Amino acid sequence: MVSFAAASTCLALALSGAYPMTLTDASGVRVTVRARPVRIVSMAPSVTEVLFALGLDREVVGISDSDDYPPERVRGKPRVGGAVVSLERVVALKPDLVVGMPSLQHDQLVRLRALRLPVLAVDAASVDGTVDLVRLLGRVTGRGREAEGLSLLLRRRAAAVRPSGRRTAYIEVWHEPVLAAGRATLVDDLVTRAGGANIFGNRRGYVPVPLEDVLSRNPQVILLLYPGGDRLRGRPGWAVLDAVRAGRVYDLPTSLVARPGPRVVEGLELIARLLGNGR
């Protein structure tokens, strides 16, 4: 029989992280973290939000150009670039862990690994995946207890969202060219959880779509991941769409619905309200 003390020790190790630890990251690469990281470079806004939520303000020594939350805590942090990361800036920060997202920066993560920097690739395209991402970063950084607490909160809030009526939704990511969100994207998972039916849920990822396809599918709700509702309503022939006629065209805050981070449940709650015709 395992004693209470031994069980408690095992639990503590699982939550805080026992080093060295080896795991397979989101790129399918085996990564060994040899000690608790004390100089972390984050290459994605969602990663930065998670790290700050876990209380790793001091350990985060570099962030991406797109990081904007929490505003008072990202202010003053060195920036390493945006879509194109400056490898020189990353190297100069002497990180003992670089965290990025292969869906955004696959080639650059490969280059950083070639420079023998410790790189961890993480990614998520759902609420459940976001919870797993939080737990992984907690484990790797020695903040397992904090990560478990945050994960539990996210799961409870997500479970409390009650799906609205089964309205069909068109999710437009950009307008030039027109890109729609299909399945296996975070915003699609949020719409589905909130009770909506993505009209392009039969396609995977972010896909170009002819405007005629949107017209023929006549969505009841239109969700935009950029500020463009007025422009969209003025498209030729779109005034007859159910969503436009009913006034259900909404600009979404991208940081809530496209970042797999601690605020993703706020995005879920917002979409549930909008699908229910709330504001």
Q: Does 101 share its domain with 9?
A: yes
Calpha distance 266→263 (Å, rounded) = 5
Query: Domain containing 204: what range?
Result: 168-275
Residue 163 lies in a domain: no
Asked if the model's pLDDT at residue 80 lies above 70, the reply is yes
Residue 162 placed within a domain:
no
Which residues 6+ apart lie within 8 Å of 184 measured at CB?
A: 125, 204, 205
Token pair for residue 31? 């990564």
Residues 249, 221: Cα–Cα separation, whole Å: 6
Residue where a domain terminates, one of 101, 133, 157: 157
Number of domains in the chain: 2
Kindly report the CATH number assigned to the domain that includes residue 135. Answer: 3.40.50.1980
Q: Is the same domain home to 123 and 176?
A: no
Q: What is the pLDDT of residue 17?
A: 59
> Are 189 and 139 in a shared domain?
no
Among 103, 135, 157, identify where a domain stops: 157
pTM: 0.91
Q: Is 204 in the same domain as 136?
A: no
pLDDT for 18? 87
CA dihedral 45, 26, 111, 142 (to 10 degrees): 70
Per residue in 213-266, pLDDT (tens digit) is 999 999 999 999 999 999 999 999 999 999 999 999 999 999 999 999 999 999
Sign of CA dihedral 252, 255, 259, 265: negative
Mean pLDDT to the nearest integer, 12-32 = 81
Q: Are residues 47 and 130 in the same domain?
A: yes
pLDDT tens by residue, 168-202: 999 999 999 999 999 999 999 999 999 999 999 99
Domain final residue pick, 134, 157, 180: 157
Indicate whether 200 belongs to any domain.
Answer: yes
Is residue 18 located within the same domain as residue 66? yes
Instruction: Please report the pLDDT score of residue 2 as a whole number.
Output: 36
For residue 239, the model assigns a pLDDT of 95
CB contact set of 179 (below 8 Å; sequence gap of 6+): 172, 173, 206, 207, 208, 209
pLDDT, residue 164, reads 74
Do 11 and 39 fall within a single domain? yes
Q: Are residues 139 and 13 in the same domain?
A: yes
Summarised one tens digit per residue, pLDDT across range 84-111 is 899 999 999 999 999 999 998 999 999 9
Averaged confidence pLDDT in the chain: 92
